[in-house]
Copies of this chain bind each other. A is one copy, B any other.
Amino acid sequence: MANPTGHTVKAFDEDLDQLRASIAEMGGLAEAAIAESMRALVQRDGQSALRVIEDDAKLDALEAEVERQAVQVIALRAPMADDLREVVAALKIAGVVERIGDYAKNIAKRVVVIEEAPDLKPLSLLPEMARIVAEMVHNVLDAFAARDADKAAAVCERDKAVDDFYSSIFRALLTFMMENPNHITPATHLLFVAKNLERIGDHATNVAEMVYFAATGNHLAERERGYDTTLEADG
């Protein structure tokens, strides 16, 4: 019943490679969007920010392309259990990477609305936090391409550092707001920037869990689904 079209394993593997290549391309765009949006934030560069916002359409288009490819692979190759699961995983990972791009776009949008902002010290922590989450995105897609469970597990471990950054930045921003009411509006925007970075880390972690499961058949030790793991430290 399965594999009724008599496709060669090779044809399916080539299709899967094509899917992986599209996802790797998405990952590269998402990484660049994170780095560029943060550079634009730090340098108050509205033009670069607008470019990040525009470029997000490419990620959306690539996700639609991955979906089209995945549906076609399923329809043409009728893959069996494990192979099918792999195609479904690719579909889900593409969705997550697209959302990571949306978070970077949101950061870029903040750059456009923060017309002027006093020098806030927590701003200096944000690029470092961004560097870590961009690396997580990079490494998790490497892990996906190489089906490397250890590398995926290493990505999950870094999420704790991201959460610690978020908590530090959150506290620092609250302190700045309390010191001076003029800081409240810009600090609120930076709070959402920090939150966006924290979510990117969560999403990279979720992908890492999918990659780990696909490669080993086992779940990484139980942990909360990614959202707002830092919440308890907020207040």
User: Which residues of A line the B interface, CB within 8 A?
Assistant: 1-2, 4-5, 60, 67, 70-71, 74-76, 78, 80-81, 84-85, 88, 91-92, 95, 99, 102-103, 105-106, 109-110, 112-115, 174, 177-178, 181, 184-185, 188-189, 191-192, 195, 225, 227-228, 231-232, 234-235
Contacts and interface: CB of A to CB of B under 8 A. Distances in A.
A227 B91 contact: no
Contacts of A192: 195, 234
B181 A109 contact: no
Given A181-B178, A184-B184, A185-B174, A113 B232 contact: yes
Contacts of A227: 99, 102-103, 105-106
A109 B227 CA distance: 11
A102 B71 contact: no
Contacts of A231: 106, 109-110, 113
A2 B88 contact: no
